[in-house]
Homo-oligomer: A and B are copies of this chain.
Amino acid sequence: MSEPEKEITIYDIAKKLNISAATVSRGLKDHPGVNKNTKKKITDAAHEMGYRSNAFASNLRKKSSNIIGVIVPRLNSSFMSDVIAGMEQVVNEANYNLIISQSLETVKKEVSNARAMFNNRVDGLLVSLAYDTKDIEHFKPFINRGIPVIFFDRIFEHAEYPTIFIDNYKAAYEVTTHLIEQGCKKIVHLTGNQLRNVYAERFKGYKQALADHQLAFDEDLVLINSLSSADGADAAKQILNMHVRPDAVFAANDSCAIGCMLEMKKQGIKIPADIAFAGFNNDPMCCVIEPNLTTVNYKGYEMGGVAARVLIGNLTNQLNTKTTHSIILRSELIIRESSVRNKR
């Protein structure tokens, strides 16, 4: 590999244009005292010569990196890619950059990602928790140094950490009520680790809707798994072996609902006539499975944007994380053929 060129400085640009380094510096900062033509000459020369704003040295001086860390369970959902696009939009406008990493749903990798982010001196952290995270000790070093950490979607309730999420309780209440209104009386709930707010709240909403419609809660109808498509297929087998067959399945995510539907269909079960289905997330797959899946639409782009705005507001002292503690976003029930049994 050839030796890299010497780093270009404002002095090199000044020399080339035969103006003062102070003028170059002001021109690069778009200072009003520098005339337009000169500004253009300066920025053109800077670009042409490969000048890099001395971000590193200035970061060191002001103890800020202009980097925001993001830790998510996985990147492979259209929801999460929308969240990240929403974050990028906001942070780029504010001249920050994102470092993104995946915990791959394990607390072990989440801890090591947090450590790397800390050592990289991120200015703030946006986190959606892994499946099995039990405590948030690994984020304590950030709080100790005054680096804000914001939880979104999969949150942890704690006074020091602002949170952005949807009303999972209400959304699940609406899904369950819809199934009851379609005449379903024995509704299975497929859910995930109850450590995670998103699953615990959906479970509560399901339970409350049953109670409000005088339907008995039956613990045997609640199946807890990792909510993968394969888990859905396993659940289908369990459901078909139940003594009295359930008439609906409400899964806490779409992948699991779809895995379950595919297996049921293989066994000759008619959806929604024999068993109605509802999921959660509004993944594009909901419109591929037949019948199309009833679900809850979640605005990922908006959630990412709001989380980033709270963080940046905090970094620029426009927002105080102590006063802006929780932001709850809207979601909406989308009814499709998988659950419609009462055709009026």
A3 within 8 A of B: yes
Q: Would you give the 0/1 interface string for A1-23, flagging 1 where the beta carbon is closer than 8 Å to chain B?
A: 11111010000000000000000
A55–B120 contact, CB under 8 A? yes
Chain B residues with CB below 8 A from A78, complex form = 76
Looking at the complex, which one of B7, B102, B119, B317 makes contact with A53 (CB distance below 8 Å)?
B119
Query: With A5-B144, A77-B76, A141-B50 as given contacts, are A99 and B102 in contact (CB-CB < 8 Å)?
Result: no
Residues of B within 8 A of A216 (CB): none
Partner among B74, B116, B145, B285 whose Cβ is within 8 Å of the Cβ of A92: B116
Given A67-B120, A99-B99, A288-B288; A5-B77 close (CB under 8 Å): no
Known contacts A53-B119, A118-B52, A145-B50; is-contact A81 B85 (Cβ 8 Å): no
Given contacts A5-B145, A75-B76, A285-B285, 19 further A-B contacts (CB under 8 A): A1-B314, A1-B321, A4-B147, A7-B63, A53-B119, A56-B60, A60-B60, A74-B81, A75-B75, A75-B81, A76-B77, A81-B102, A88-B101, A97-B101, A98-B100, A99-B99, A99-B100, A229-B284, A288-B288
> Measuring CB to CB, which residues of chain A are less than 8 angstroms from any residue of chain B?
1-5, 7, 50, 52-53, 55-57, 59-60, 63, 65, 67, 74-78, 80-82, 84-85, 88, 92, 97-102, 104, 112, 116, 118-121, 141, 144-148, 229, 258, 262, 284-285, 287-290, 314, 317, 320-321
